[in-house]
Amino acid sequence: MSAKAISEQTGKEFLYKYICTSAAVQNRFRYASVTAETDWDRLTQDHPWLLTERLVVKPDQLIKRRGKLGLVGLDLDLQGVREWFKARVMKETTVGKAKGVLKNFLIEPFVQHPQEEEFYVCIYATREGDHVLFHHEGGVEVGDVDAKAQRLLVVVDEKLSEEQVKEKLLAHVPDEKKEVLASFIVGLFNLYEDLYFTYLEINPIVVTKDGVYVLDMAAKIDATADYICKAKWGDVEFPPPFGREAYPEEAYIADLDAKSGASLKLTLLNPCGRIWTMVAGGGASVVYSDTICDLGGVDELANYGEYSGAPSEQQTYDYAKTILSLMTREKHTQGKVLIIGGSIANFTNVAATFKGIVRAIKDYQGPLKEHEVTIFVRRGGPNYQEGLRVMGEVGKTTGIPIHVFGTETHMTAIVGMALGHRPIPNQPPMDAHTANFLLNASNSAVTPATTRTASFSEPRTSSEVNPAKKSKADLPADSLHSILWPLKNMVTGDWKEAQASSGCSGAKPTTLFRKQTKSIVWGMQTRAVQGMLDFDYVCSREEPSVAAMVYPFTGDHKQKFYWGHKEILLPVYKNMAEAMKKHPEVDVLISFASLRSAFDSTMETMQFPQIHTIAIIAEGIPEAQTRKIIKKADEKGVTIIGPATVGGIKPGCFKIGNTGGMLDNILASKLYRPGSVAYVSRSGGMSNELNNIVSRTTDGVYEGVAIGGDRYPGSTFMDHVLRYQDTPGVEMIIVLGEVGGTEEYKICQGIGEGRITKPVVCWCIGTCATMFTSEVQFGHAGACANQASETAVAKNQALRDAGAYVPKSFDELGDVIKTVYDELVANGTIIPAQEVPPPTVPMDYSWARELGLIRKPASFMTSICDERGQELIYAGMPITEVFKEEMGLGGVLGLLWFQRRLPRYACQFIEMCLMVTADHGPAVSGAHNTIVCTRAGKDLISCLTSGLLTIGDRFGGALDAAAKLFSKAFDSGMLPMEFVNKMKKDGKLIMGIGHRVKSINNPDMRVQILKDFVKQHFPSTQLLDYALDVEKITTSKKPNLILNVDGFIGVAFVDLLRTCGGFTRDEADEFVEIGALNGIFVLGRSMGFIGHYLDQKRLKQGLYRHPWDDISYVLPEHMSM
């Protein structure tokens, strides 16, 4: 969500730190926060003014009207404060419908003043700008400030001046206070803008001869602006609404959400409740909560939450296990139900997310059965059949009752089943597999010619269009005003006046998308683009709807895509101007820019007059930036869809990004050709659910738009309803509204004034909000009612009274749509056309493999490492375990080279080998090559490679050779003397024997260190003992024919592999044969080579040239013909 309430202490801290005004703001930073755990002696040391001044104490927990509730202690000394505090702290208190415990209190200096020095000021955001309210009488008895306060609207992107404040707001203020108040209000407004407040109220603000005192303050900030304001905000804590505890599990999920590109939300309502939900999608999560409450489950509803935006398997697992952990802590006499629901996903791989849920269910299968949990699942979207199959299987294997349903079942039907209001079908009908949708039903493989008009239904003349249904109550138009208006955030009056007041100067087109529409996609979203091209192809478009892509992080290039069966190239540009210049036919931009860059890229796009429509997909754009985008778009005549949207779709013509899901859903919902029904929704997931409902109850969708879940969507319900009203092919309109905002009342007004005459089916989700005792912020940022008129219940009633078709619940929405459609068919308004089969579109290989439809031998096989999951795995061991067990480098090498967890002594021996082989000076061939290469100015990798290429039988490669040679001799039963004599007779050197410098009299300490360790720790050293016996024979002939470090490591490693207990004899021999031991030298010596490289660079050595006097020139004598 965006607008979040902050504590009074946080709000005042921001104000005291950052307000810029000539008015003297008194008592800056003079506040103290206290809880039951407060050390009062320490508190008075930190705030000595507590001992000398009269004080005020009050709870700081987002409680409104504390004065009227008797929750403010006034004019007390410190002892009086402590007594007042002690009588109330940790006590349960009722505020409205909410019951909560008083925990956090604020102590401030008491300001003695007469009533006439109290004033009221409030600033709050609306779509068109920020409203400043001022009243010359503040305090507890301020009353209805909306009705009596002076009001000033500061339009988006405009500034507030002291002259405006004096003229518009301070008419009833004494002259001697006007200058101070004007300066303070302007400073407050600038602070409000700079720190991205959305609401800021001070009541009262006291103005005396000494200056300005901020007594009580309430505020909200736009949490999505954290990346902009982090330096000034710091780490802001957002307290829960009064009456709801802050649970650590909520904080855990919020932390997961912050670290993820997906959306993860959790609010605990009643941890003892028996009804738990795990719902995919912001809109769907509200619908499920509504249905549970409608069916009488409000007191047993345990949580609200949602997961969406394609979370990974691990993220879904973490989310699911948190919920399962919570619901299996306390038993319920009736058992518990878990509703795993969701609409039809647009792009989330349902099977992948279900894998995470299935893992969690398996982990908690014991507690789930013990608590008698029954699970109901309903989901649709990409690969949902596999997801449902896996979910059904886990029910059978664990014995947990799991009932699984797909798109053939109405989205919320499982709620009625879970609560016992409808029977559970034994074998629900299942839709065909995803793959079946992709094959043409006809025998022809060619793309059929389009035989449709603009609409799937036969066009009607405007005179034949039925007027909207009239309300049975037959209320006059003014009754809506008397019941629910005036509204704080609503521009009242005729709908045309409302449009004018919003500052719209550019004419916006009625038709956004045609069959020839071309777009540019901002962002490297290849999957979304391919989905658009497949949609274009199945709609029989002549050319792709995507002309180009813009991606600032690469140079200009071409990107490969499929157009039906053949491959095509689309250009990708580094900058927008170049793309626009080369593609003047483009009039739509689809922006996948991140929330940080969406504002700048959108404002840049609107500089090009060819663009008429922009879809902004990103969620989390600060509201202040969105309002600037809206203002610019209104001036330019550009239609904005979003932010926080999946986009929109016009069957047979154009689709935005991932809208409508994958091709199987496009075909199942008949989105490849136009129908007669147009809809507008806030939710992207619910728009896909509407596609499904409309395709099952009518002749299909004509156009559908998801305007986005933010408080200020770029285009409104009314914008699109009026477009549909003026579009001949549209015969009925569906609006899926939601709690929060007042846009739906404009539809009421349009129907009442006759501007909207086509049948309108409406339903506002979020009816459950009025049943909760504390405020719940739903998945969408805009889904929060700030007053009674913004509730879903009030809006549904107003729409019903105005003459719209409003069902009793979302459960009945499909039935109402079908009833209205059947009426239109019966009276001849809609004449359904004959179906035309869509063309064949081949399935992508990667997706077919994901669905398990094809198999192919892998190009590579690996058995040592897996990086695909949430955590890196070495030979079956997660990286966290590697560190927890302190396995060290030797342990990691054991996992990656030998696929074994080696004993501790073996890991230590490996590390010792790496240490003793790390370097042997600059004179050896490998180091020499590395140094020469370094001095030639080459890079690290080249220099290291140059040194490594010298390793072989003559240098460093003796480990393998020695191991093989000694092993063969020992295993054949040859005596050491026989072995030495045989090698001499064959004229071969004994690999691992001999040293240029070291001898029996000058031993190699590296060998001695290793020998001591091996003799102490290895269970058996048969091959080493054999090699030492050979050494006795060779050194008797010549003292430098010792067992060198290469030979020692080689034979000792064979002993290790054979006797550590982790390998069979054949496995041990195989590792020697394939060169594993030489790897020890290569790995160890690489450290030394890199050291030489860095040393030469550090010493700044120049190009090496070998001296002439160190070269013997032996050329043949000169010969002449």
Which active-site residues does the annotation give?
A: 780
Q: Using an 8 Å Cβ cutoff, are 895 and 877 in contact?
A: yes
* Distance (Å) of CA 142 to CA 63, 67, 442, 512: 17, 11, 73, 48
Consecutive H or E run containing 176: helix 175-194
Q: Using an 8 Å Cβ cutoff, are 737 and 706 in contact?
A: no
Q: Using an 8 Å Cβ cutoff, are 865 and 873 in contact?
A: yes
User: What letter does residue 468 receive in the DSSP assignment?
Assistant: P
Bridge partners (DSSP) of residue 736 are 681, 763
Q: Which residues contact 921 (CB under 8 A, 6 or more apart)?
A: 927
Angle value at C-alpha 531, between 530 and 535, nearest 5 degrees: 115
Residues 788-818, buried b or exposed e (16+ Cβ, 10 A)? ebbbbbbbbbbbbbbbbbbbebbbebbebbe
Q: Using an 8 Å Cβ cutoff, are 807 and 629 in contact?
A: no
Consecutive H or E run containing 405: strand 402-405
- Token reading at 797: 């009633």
User: What letter does residue 883 receive in the DSSP assignment?
Assistant: H
* Distance (Å) of CA 464 to CA 195, 496, 677, 754, 758: 54, 25, 17, 15, 11
CB-count exposure of residue 37 (10 Å: 0-12, 13-18, 19+): exposed
What is the spatial distance between Cα 571 and Cα 1012, in angstroms, rounded to a whole number?
67
Q: Using an 8 Å Cβ cutoff, are 211 and 23 in contact?
A: yes
User: What letter does residue 533 receive in the DSSP assignment?
Assistant: H
**CA 866 to chain CA mean position, Å:** 24
- Token reading at 332: 């319920």
Count the helix, strand and coil residues of the chain and give each as a percent rounded to the nearest 5.
Answer: 40, 15, 45
Q: Using an 8 Å Cβ cutoff, are 279 and 348 in contact?
A: no
What is the spatial distance between Cα 324 and Cα 354, in angstroms, rounded to a whole number?
14
What is the spatial distance between Cα 811 and Cα 415, in angstroms, rounded to a whole number?
10
Residue 594 has φ and ψ, to the nearest 5°, of -70, 165
Q: Which residues contact 1025 (CB under 8 A, 6 or more apart)?
A: none
Q: Using an 8 Å Cβ cutoff, are 189 and 153 in contact?
A: no
What is the spatial distance between Cα 198 and Cα 181, in angstroms, rounded to a whole number?
21
Q: Which residues contact 31 (CB under 8 A, 6 or more apart)?
A: 9, 12, 106, 107, 108
Diameter of the chain by CA atoms? 126
What is the spatial distance between Cα 641 and Cα 1075, in angstroms, rounded to a whole number?
62
For 584-628, the DSSP string reads: TT--EEEE---TTTHHHHHHHHTTSTT--EEEE--S---HHHHHH
Tokens 């939710």 belong to which residue?
A: 683
Q: Which of 405, 402, 319 is nearest to 368 (CA)?
A: 402
What is the spatial distance between Cα 288 and Cα 9, in angstroms, rounded to a whole number?
37
Rg (CA), the chain: 38
